[in-house]
Amino acid sequence: MTQSSESSGPDYKAFPDQNGHFGRFGGRFVSETLMAALDELDVMYRRLKDDPQFQADFDYDLAHYVGRPSPLYLAERWTKQLGGARIWLKREDLNHTGAHKVNNTIGQALLAKHMGKKRVIAETGAGQHGVASATVAARLGLECHVFMGEEDIRRQRLNVYRMKLLGANVVPVTSGSRTLKDAMNEAMRDWVTNVDDTFYIIGTVAGPHPYPMLVRDFQSVIGREARAQSLKQAGKLPDALVACVGGGSNAIGLFHPFLDDRDVAMYGVEAGGDGIDTGRHAAPLSAGRPGVLHGNRTYLMEDDNGQIIETHSVSAGLDYPGVGPEHSWLKDIGRVHYVSADDNEALAAFRELTRIEGIMPALESAHALAYARKLAPQMDADQDIVINLSGRGDKDILTVAEIDGIHF
C-alpha cells in the first residue's frame, strides 16, 4: 500500500468513531429504554468481531449455508451490446434466499445466539430481509416476527407466504405510509416492549449505532470477494463500482473494501421513482437534506417542518426515506457519487438483462443496472465495471406482470 493515490483520503476503517459517528452523521438517537440494549450489543459485537471462533463460525455458514463465494460473472453479450467498459456482475442473487440480505442475518443470528436471545424481530420492505431473517430463525429454532407495511404485503405476496412457510409471524403495519419506514417504527416499538428477550435484526446499514457498523461489516464480504475476484479474473481492480441504494447495505458491502483504492470510482444509485423533479421518488442523497430518523443522523426525505414525507419507487426494497449514515458521509466527502435511476429505467434494465444474459434481476438491483447502462458506453473497452447484482427478480414477477397488464 505505497501508492500515493491510496493514502490521500481519510482513514475509512477508523469510522465510525466510538459513539457511532461518521463525521456529523450516524450516532444513537433513540429513547432511553433502548440505550442499555444498544450498549450491550455494542460491547458484545466489539468482543466477538475479533474472536477467531466467531469469525470462523460466520465464514463457515457463509460457505456452506449461503453458498459463498458468489461468482463474479462477466456479462459478455451485454458488454458487447453497450459498447464500452466490460461489465461484471457480482452474483449476490445466487445466495441462499436469493439476495445479499442473508449475509447480514447470518451474522446477526450468531450475535443473537451468543446473547442468549430466543426471540428475533425484523422489519422488511421487499420481503428479502424478512425471508432471510425467517430463514436463519428457522435454522436456529428462534421465534421470529417480521414487521411489514400493508402496502408492501400487497406488492410482495410471494415473499409473505415464504416467510409464513418458514414459520415466521408476519405482522402487517397499518400506520403512516404502510411501507418500510413504518415497519421499522413498529419493530422499534416491539423491541422497546420486549427488550429483555428480543434481538432486533435490522436489515440495512441504518438504525442506531452499532447497527450501521455491524451490518456493514457483515456485508463487506461482498466487496472483499469482488476485489480478489477482480484481481484474479480481470487482472486488475475495477474502474467503477455500481450498486443500488435504499438503506444501502448491498452498496456499502461492495464499496467498503475498495474505499482506500482511490482510482476505483463508486456510484450509489437511488430510486428515482417517477423522476427526481416530480418529488415522487426515494432519493434522499440526491434530493433530501440531513435530519434524524430511526436512531441516526442522515440524509432524509422531509418537509420544511421536519416531517418525513412519503417515498415512491416501483421497488419496495428501495422505498425508504432515509439512507445509512455512512453513505451520507461518503457523499459529503465526495468519495462516492450518488445518482438515481427512475422506475422506467429500472424496468427497462430488468427486461434487458433478463433477455440478453438470462439473468432476472431484482427490481432493486435493476436500478444499478440502469445506471451502469448509461455509464458503460462512456468508458473504454479496457475498463471494468462491477455491478452488485444484489438479488434475483423472482419476487418481482407479479409486480412486472401487473405493469404489463397480466393478472394471474
Partner 1 sequence: MSRIEACFATLKEQQRKALIPYITAGDPTKAVTVPVMHAMVEAGADVIELGVPFSDPMADGPVIQKACERALAAGTGLRDVLAMVTEFRRDNDTTPVVLMGYLNPVEIMGYERFADACVDAGVDGVLLVDLPPEECDEVAPLFKTRGVDLIFLIAPTTTDARISRIAGAASGYLYYVSLKGVTGSASLNVEEVARRVETIRNLAQLPIGVGFGIKDAQSARAVSQVSDGVVVGSALVNQSAENVDTPDRIAPAVAAILADMRAAMDKQ
Residue (281 or 395) nearer to partner 1, CB: 281
CB neighbour class for 47 (10 Å; exposed up to 12, middle 13-18, buried from 19) = exposed
Distance CA 112, CA 120 (A): 8
357 is annotated as an active-site residue: no
Distance CA 170, CA 121 (A): 10
Q: Is 43 in the site for partner 1 (CB under 8 A)?
A: no
Residue (274 or 310) nearer to partner 1, CB: 310
92 is annotated as an active-site residue: no
123 is annotated as an active-site residue: yes
Q: Which of residues 305-324 bind partner 1 (CB under 8 A)?
A: 305-309
SS3 at position 329: helix
10 Å Cβ neighbour count for 56?
A: 10
The residue from 12, 16, 22, 28 that contacts partner 1 (CB under 8 A) is: 28
Phi-psi region at 285: left, alpha or beta (left = phi > 0; alpha = psi -120 to 50): alpha
Q: Are 350 and 370 in contact (CB under 8 A)?
A: no
Q: How far is the CB of 284 from partner 1 (least distance, A)?
A: 13
Q: Is 163 in the site for partner 1 (CB under 8 A)?
A: no
Over the window 265 to 294, marking each residue x when it contacts partner 1 by CB under 8 A and - when it does not, the resulting string is -------------------------xxxxx
The residue from 3, 5, 7, 19 that contacts partner 1 (CB under 8 A) is: 19
Residue (16 or 27) nearer to partner 1, CB: 27
Distance CA 107, CA 203 (A): 11
Which among 70, 90, 92, 101 is annotated as catalytic? 101
Q: H or E segment at 295?
A: strand 295-300
The residue from 3, 5, 7, 31 that contacts partner 1 (CB under 8 A) is: 31
Residue (96 or 189) nearer to partner 1, CB: 189
| Start-end of H helices in 194-272 | 211-219, 221-233, 249-255
Q: Is 116 in the site for partner 1 (CB under 8 A)?
A: no
> Which residue in 45, 78, 62 sits closest to 219, CA to CA?
62
Query: For the chain, how many helices (H) and strands (E)?
Result: 16, 14
> Which residue in 248, 205, 236 sits closest to 336, CA to CA?
248
Which among 92, 123, 270, 357 is annotated as catalytic? 123
Q: How far is the CB of 176 from partner 1 (least distance, A)?
A: 7
Q: Which of residues 185-204 bind partner 1 (CB under 8 A)?
A: 185, 188-189, 192-196
Amino acid at 318: L
Residue 322, phi then psi, degrees to nearest 5: -115, -170
Q: Is 260 in the site for partner 1 (CB under 8 A)?
A: no
Q: Is 29 in the site for partner 1 (CB under 8 A)?
A: yes
Q: Is 360 in the site for partner 1 (CB under 8 A)?
A: no
Q: How far is the CB of 151 from partner 1 (least distance, A)?
A: 16
**Which grid cell sits at 197?**
428477550
Q: Are 121 and 213 in contact (CB under 8 A)?
A: no
Amino acid at 21: H
Q: Is 175 in the site for partner 1 (CB under 8 A)?
A: yes
Distance CA 35, CA 208 (A): 10
* Segment near partner 1 (CB under 8 A); pick from 22-30, 135-143, 210-218, 334-342: 22-30
* Segment near partner 1 (CB under 8 A); pick from 120-128, 180-188, 325-333, 392-400: 180-188
The residue from 12, 37, 112, 256 that contacts partner 1 (CB under 8 A) is: 37
Amino acid at 370: A
Residue (11 or 304) nearer to partner 1, CB: 304
Q: Please give the positions annotated as active site.
A: 101, 123, 390
Q: Tell me which residues touch partner 1 (CB under 8 A).
A: 19, 27-37, 175-176, 181-182, 185, 188-189, 192-196, 290-295, 297, 300, 302, 304-309
